[in-house]
Structure 1
Amino acid sequence: MPKFEKDGIEISYLDEGEGEPILLIHGFASNKSINWVNPGWVDLLVKDGRRVIALDNRGHGESSKFYDPDAYGAPVMAEDARRLLDHLGLDEVDVMGYSMGARISAFLALNHPQRVRRVIFGGLGYGMVSGVGDPEPIASALEAERLQDVSDRTGRAFRAFAEQTKSDRLALAACMRSSRQKISEEDVSRIEVPALVAVGTKDDIAGSPQKLAGLMEDARVLEIPGRDHMVAVGDKVYKQGVLDFLNGYMG
């Protein structure tokens, strides 16, 4: 996979297909392959006539790892995405982020509105504003010597996922402990580009997609039936809904 370096930070990415560009930003403890290649998103979007770019966020995949929480945070990671667009010479793209990637996508849309044509917030509803719970159990689970030592249910799920993805658990713990800059309702209301909020009906992490969409001028909701936070990303309803949104069939 290609990489580029800026200010001592190396970002790994993929760039496939031709046509209108879309940038994919993965979730916490995942990477571009787990989130987007393996579930078939890259193939799907390339076959739909799009140029697909996906990056490994810092601390994840094949990108640079840091062990200081100050090196992370969604606004910082959004700048990595913006630098990738600069590197590729792309002025404006569609953007889809899942979970943490949705938060990063929101900061990209807020801080660089001219670069985002349309945005898809996957796996994150009103939790974007309210937060999604205490990060410490997850960070502690990532630092535990063994999975068997983790009693917190959410922490255990993320620890198991990190092991499955062969992630750097200490870098992820630092990322989880980073300053979580809140996005206010007023901030969300400043996102004027067309938006799709896609959340599984059994997702107990994301928060209400309707409540988040209601804050924006041009947003719609896609409910992913029977899917929780961990499995909604590969669902066929999610995929078809995104294609419909990008091709102008919804709303």
Structure 2
Amino acid sequence: MPSLPSRLPMQTFDANGVEIAYFDTGAGEPVLCIHGFASTAHINWTYPGWVETLTKAGRRVIALDNRGHGASQKLYDPAAYHTTLMAEDARALLDHLGIARTVVLGYSMGSRITAFLAQRHPDRVSAAIMGGLGIKLIDGVGLPETIAEALEAPTLEEVTDPQGRMFRAFAMQTQSDRKALAACIRGSRNLMTADEAASIRCPVLIAVGTKDAIAGPPEPLAAIIPKGEALSIPDRDHMPAVGDKVFKAGALDFLTRIGV
């Protein structure tokens, strides 16, 4: 079994009173990477090979641990996890690093954050790549609140919901703060209206696995966003699609075609 890539050194900064951890590696045009729920910058981007892929393509890669995740500060009030607040953490990181405008790559919850960032701060996002989130950005939200109950259950054995068991087991494997994650899932399931999505003006690639039951299909969202494109990742459900070679190749092709 191949070994995992080495962890990159993390730095921290103050994002409006919340300590946020991040790594910054490579040289060239930047890509800001925003991970999904219950994940971390390393789990989402280093271990599946994204950092290697992007740096080899001549990119500077910046990835943060979202609030409540990884090495970032843990908060326990669901209101502290509204997607607008997490989008502001990402914007604050760009400010901290002196980056005026960048490509943003998100996955799942990170794609929701990416969409809110692009919609609220169009001057900061040159292009967006949104993996693991399709039409459920605006219709229905991907992850159910029952995941919070699974995270709070006394033991994994007591969780009967399959999706809840998956996230509870994942949180245990990554030694995450399950109380903070429960607050996050309750506070971050925020919808964007169709009109708001239609106001996103940068080019957007929406990549979803064909077996993903969480994200919703990419085509309806791509039809709403003026410069939206859909990419289907064949035979992948939500978790394995993250590091799929079709996703990586599609992302690099997208960035080449739009010239950013």
TM norm structure 2 = 0.93
What residue identity is the alignment partner of 1:99? S
Deviation at 1:216, TM superposition (A): 1.2
Question: Are 1:160 and 2:169 an aligned pair?
Answer: yes
Shift of 1:192: 1.0
Structure 1 CA distance, aligned partners of 2:52 and 2:72?
22
Aligned partners of 2:234 and 2:143: how far apart in 1?
Answer: 27
Shift of 1:24: 0.3
Q: Report the number of matched residues.
A: 250
* Mapped partners of 2:50, 2:119: distance in 1: 25
Provide the alpha-carbon RMSD of the alignment: 1.3
Aligned equivalents of 1:181 and 1:49: distance in 2?
34
Q: Aligned residue for 1:132?
A: 141
Q: Deviations over 1:72-102 (max 9, x none)?
A: 1111100000000000000000001100000
Aligned match of 1:44 in 45, 49, 53?
53
Q: Secondary structure at the match of 1:39?
A: coil
- Residue pairs, 1:135-150, within 5 angstroms: 135-150=144-159
The one-letter amino acid paired with 1:92 is R
Distance 1:247 1:10, change over 3 A: same
Alpha-carbon offset, residue 132 of structure 1: 2.8
1:83-232 equivalences under 5 Å are 83-132=92-141, 135-178=144-187, 180-232=189-241
Q: Secondary structure at the match of 1:113?
A: coil
Q: 1:133 to 1:245 in 2, by over 3 A?
A: closer
Counterpart AA for 1:111: R
Report how far residue 133 of structure 1 moved.
5.3
The amino acid of 1:83's aligned partner reads A
Q: Identity of counterpart residues, as a percentage?
A: 59
Determine if the alignment matches structure 1 residue 77 to structure 2 residue 86. yes
Report the CA distance between 1:111 and its aligned residue. 0.7
In the TM superposition, structure 1's runs of 4+ consecutive aligned residues that sit over 3 Å from their partners are: none
Judge conservation of contact 2:145–2:186 (CA < 8 Å) in 1: yes
Distance 1:106 1:174 in 2: 21
In the alignment, residue 52 of structure 2 is paired with which amino acid?
D
Task: Report the 3-state secondary structure (helix = DSSP H, G, I; strand = E; otherwise coil) of the residue aligned with 2:66.
Answer: coil
